[in-house]
A and B are shown apart, each in its own frame.
Chain A
């Protein structure tokens, strides 16, 4: 057991300051053979450890189709993440275990329209899937990305969003909660924009959503109102985890282990879980 919990060392290649409290760490394994072998599916997560401080769970926010590195986007929230922001510089070494968990059903959503609904740091797991889908663009039909944040400064991956905007085959809708000067896009919370501006087509569309619990709650409600059936809504759950192996019992909800059976669930699966959220 203990051997499974030993991390491999990875080097921080680049640090990108996304927003005042979110940074993206571009990582490479120290062992090049391991980096070659290392592959993951969009939506999976790794255990990221700052040695001496502790271990945290983060989803991989880049796609395995872009080889040679992987990204973790980390928001400053607790003790370990604050330590990570404070202490890690480019060139430092961190411990990585993974990848763990299930992933977005990339095969199942082939040939469908995709609607991504993200809020705040919730775009990170979606970004992995978006990159994957862009790299396999021909497999999928229409692309819509709805992304919201509290303020314009809190929008992550700004450069990448600009790229997506330039890509004519992708429709990007941005929104912020409160109006700001020089803001030309939408204003309003994500569920409202979803219903009023995006007005998605229901047939043959899969919705993939991730964000803070409160946003998820209302987005799921408005998706219900729009007429999406729960099987076509996919989300990823957040739950405190420590081992990622289905052993430590922390992410246990009912008889489901979020770290093994999740973190990706359809809304239909979520509804069947005991009401713990």
Chain B
């Protein structure tokens, strides 16, 4: 999977035609074979753009930054990125006519060590769902697979699970990197950061980590697209996907196979209902 040349050409063309002000893509990090995002405003810089299986970061995160707000933006999206973009469009955070989207039929990205990422192995929509231009051969939808870690955890006992998650919350250093790197966390001021939220208040205890991470994951339930930006940003390498994948699994199994960001105009599982939703857990 190498679309570097095509993306360079498209970006150069877009700048030449005056269709965009900013282009968000990837470039080589310059010190190893990993890639970092790049925000280009100068047409001459388009030659640095690359796209390979090392293009991991979800670029839709940059749509909430100062550099791209109210500007015409061109950007590259993979399958999962396009789903978050879809949600941002639905939630009126970005305007479709200000974007030029280069969709990619993604064959999966790899982590630092060169192994295919877990979310790519379980990916069910590898092709971008919203795009102006498509690169690569469409692969079509695949079957939804329940996350392997969740399946494994579900077999464990209550106390065992409690111990495992306690470790996660204890190792959290409350830097909020997960939230800031999440493309769908765009609130101007997060509810758990409010000064009135005396429970959290930025302290670093397992209690405040529990509070912040649980609230965060529940506010993203039915919206999370599993791009793993949060895990990439986490300095403690916490398996944050567990919280999201658990919610995703429950939502998929109980709410008519709902998957976030797949259909245009879908606001997420919690913004609609069905009379047939499970009721047996309620007295």
A79 B198 Cβ-Cβ under 8 A = no
In chain B, positions 94-152 with a C-beta closer than 8 Å to chain A are none
Alpha-carbon distance between A78 and B194 when the two chains are bound, in angstroms: 11
In the complex, are the beta carbons of B195 and A78 less than 8 A apart? yes
Chain A residue with Cβ nearest B198: A52
In the docked arrangement, what's the CA distance between A12 and B196, Å? 23
Interfacial chain A residues near B198, Cβ < 8 Å: 52-53
Write the chain B residue with the least CB distance to A79: B195
Range of interface residues on chain B?
A: under 10
Q: Is the interface of B mostly helix, strand, loop or mixed?
A: loop
Residue of A nearest to B195 (CB): A79
Closest to B196 in A: A79
Smallest CB separation, B188 vs chain A (Å): 15
Query: What total of A-B pairs shows CB separation below 8 Å?
Result: 8
Interface presence of A270 (CB below 8 A): no
Residues of B within 8 A of A53 (CB): 198
What CA separation (Å) do A78 and B196 show in the bound complex?
11
Within 8 A of A (CB), among B171-222: 194-196, 198
Enumerate A28-65 residues with CB–CB distance to B below 8 Å.
52-54
Report the separation of the CA atoms of residues A80 and B201 in the bound assembly, to the nearest whole angstrom.
13
A53–B196 Cα distance when bound, in Å, is: 8
Residues in chain A near residue B194, CB distance under 8 A: 79
A134-154 toward B: CB 8 Å interface, digit per residue (1/0)?
Answer: 000000000000000000000
> Which A residue sits closest to B201, measured CB to CB?
A54
Cβ contacts under 8 Å, A80 to chain B:
195
- Min CB gap B146→A, angstroms: 43
Minimal beta-carbon separation of B31 from chain A (angstroms): 30
Closest to A80 in B: B195
- Of the listed residues B194, B195, B198, the one surrounded by the most CB atoms of chain A closer than 10 A to its CB is B195
Give A79 to B194 CA distance when docked, in angstroms: 9
Q: Which residues of B are at the interface with A, using a C-beta cutoff of 8 A?
A: 194-196, 198
Give A contacts to B, CB under 8 Å: 52-54, 78-80
A-B interface, 7 closest residue pairs, ranked by CB to CB distance from nearest: A79-B195, A79-B196, A54-B195, A80-B195, A52-B198, A78-B195, A79-B194
